[in-house]
Chains A and B, each alone.
Chain A
Amino acid sequence: MSKPGESRRDQIDQYVNEQMEAGELADFEQRMRENVALAESVHLHRDVQKGMEYYFLQGLKQDLIRSDAKKPKSKLPTYLAIAATVLIMAGAGLTYYLEYENRSPETLFTAYFEPYPNIIAPVQRSASGQQAGEAMQFYEAGQYAQAITVFDRLISQEPENAGLTFYRGVCYLGNNQPEKAATDFQTVIQSEDNPFLQASHWYLGLSYLKLSHTEEAKKHLAKVRATEGKLADEAAEILSDI
């Protein structure tokens, strides 16, 4: 059974998304003409939905722009053209250097590292829930050192919580501490049954890239490649570049 207000919300949603049936549509539009508050609720809902759509489409455009930056291989012809000119003066060693620079573990790490989305819901009303919310606020603001301090406290209380250890690992990586990051991701992958397994192999691979432990990085990225989704595709790209 619908809760009070739920039916009206659903109707507004259907109207804005043009999913209302013809008979109901005429009746609803008549009610909008008679009820200013209802009409305003509809307009507000439409503006909020369109504003969100605009925001997410802008995000997609940024993804396209980022995809240009993530293509180290595409820069190669330019590098090689420069190298060819310089070669006449400086000899063959430079070509190797430029190509290596383009695909070096450090370059690949920089091109592919970005923080994992926050999927921890700050809905708990407990003290630890509030602290997790605080840690995630630092995390989202890129204030990794402060986030790590809060995560340290939380993990001492809940050492079995894979989510806390995972996000602290990402913080370590963002804070240029790849060894500590690797230790956290190693802990998370000990348990096969957690939602951060694929992402932990991914970040573990990136941690090893940052540490220039290429063979270790390959091992974990290959595990990600064998799965599905965006990270699997990106792992395949890195593996083809190493």
Chain B
Amino acid sequence: MTTANVQETYTKDQQLIEQIRSGDEKSMVQVYQLHKNGFIHWAQINYKIDEASAADAFQDAVVCLYNNITKGKLEHLTSSLKTYLYAIGKNVVRKKLQKPILFHQDELQIVENLRAEPVDSFAENDRQRFVAKLMNTIGEPCKTILQLFYFKGFTMQAIAKAMNYKNENVAKTQKLRCLTNLKNMVKEKFSGDDF
């Protein structure tokens, strides 16, 4: 690969990172589709796993990448996006399928500094898993408001605009009501448990 090609790849990768950071989930799907087949083929050959397991690991890797970017843990790439995805994907395969896997130095640096694990392990205890289940039942507009605020980092003003509310105070009141309801349901379920 020539220096010009490397530079072009870096610029494109960095653009994708910026788009994901701005909340553009379409770019995340684009990254996934761009590297999915390559990763599955590579993982099947190197780790002797079936296609479905390789695809599952790669989906987790892309979700981790998204999380690292939106949480501000990954701002500037020091390798190609593909290197990041493969390093995270390898670590997911290692943890999920208990495979003994060796990492190169640059890959080690990536998995040590970023979150690189199966999506299932993002929930650390029963209370967190219960909250995730509750999210399926709380309905709208709570689900969208909480998503915009806690997951996408929208300001109250932006939420008011997105939800067609009169002003940010209405959005703030609604968010507080949704969060309080959620907490009350959790407290009711886990009252007496030691956390």
Chain A interface (Cβ within 8 Å of chain B)? 9, 40, 43-45, 47-58, 60-61, 63-65, 67, 71, 117-123, 136-137, 140, 195, 230, 233
B103 at the binding interface (Cβ < 8 Å):
no
A51 contacts B150, CB within 8 Å?
A: no
Q: What are 21 inter-chain pairs, A to B, with CB distance below 8 A?
A: A44-B186, A47-B125, A47-B131, A47-B186, A48-B182, A51-B134, A52-B132, A54-B123, A55-B131, A56-B151, A57-B67, A57-B119, A61-B59, A61-B60, A63-B29, A64-B29, A71-B33, A120-B140, A121-B163, A123-B174, A230-B25
A85 to B177, CA, bound (A): 61
Q: Which residues of the other chain, A, contact B164 by a CB distance below 8 angstroms?
A: 119, 195
Closest residue to B64 on the A side, CB-wise?
A57
Q: How distant is B96 from chain A, measured CB to nearest CB, in Å?
A: 13
What 8 pairs across the A-B complex have the smallest Cβ distances? A51-B131, A118-B140, A55-B132, A51-B128, A55-B135, A54-B123, A47-B127, A56-B151
A50 contacts B179, CB within 8 Å?
A: no
Q: Which residues of the other chain, B, contact A65 by a CB distance below 8 angstroms?
A: 59
Q: Which residues of the other chain, A, contact B140 by a CB distance below 8 angstroms?
A: 117-120, 122, 136, 140
Q: Which residues of the other chain, A, contact B124 by a CB distance below 8 angstroms?
A: 50
What 0/1 pattern do residues 160 to 195 of B give for CB contact below 8 A with A? Answer: 001111000010001010010011001100000001
Interface residues of B in 27-71 (CB under 8 A from A): 28-29, 32-33, 59-60, 62-63, 66-67
Q: How distant is B39 from chain A, measured CB to nearest CB, in Å?
A: 12
Q: Which residues of the other chain, B, contact A48 by a CB distance below 8 angstroms?
A: 131, 179, 182-183, 186
A239 to B38, CA, bound (A): 27
Count contacts between A and B, CB distance < 8 Å. Answer: 120
Closest residue to B33 on the A side, CB-wise?
A67
B76 at the binding interface (Cβ < 8 Å):
no
User: DSSP class of A's interface residues: helix, strand, loop or mixed?
Assistant: helix
B122 contacts A137, CB within 8 Å?
A: no
Q: Which residues of the other chain, A, contact B26 by a CB distance below 8 angstroms?
A: 230, 233
Q: Which of B60, B123, B162 has the most CB of A within 10 A?
A: B123
A67 to B25, CA, bound (A): 11
Q: Which residues of the other chain, B, contact A137 by a CB distance below 8 angstroms?
A: 139
Q: How distant is A140 from chain B, measured CB to nearest CB, in Å?
A: 6
B146 at the binding interface (Cβ < 8 Å):
yes
Q: A43-B195, A118-B141, A119-B164 are in contact. Are A52 and B135 (CB under 8 A)?
A: yes
B141 contacts A47, CB within 8 Å?
A: no
B155 at the binding interface (Cβ < 8 Å):
no
B132 contacts A51, CB within 8 Å?
A: yes
Q: Which of A45, A50, A55 has the most CB of B within 10 A?
A: A55
B186 contacts A57, CB within 8 Å?
A: no
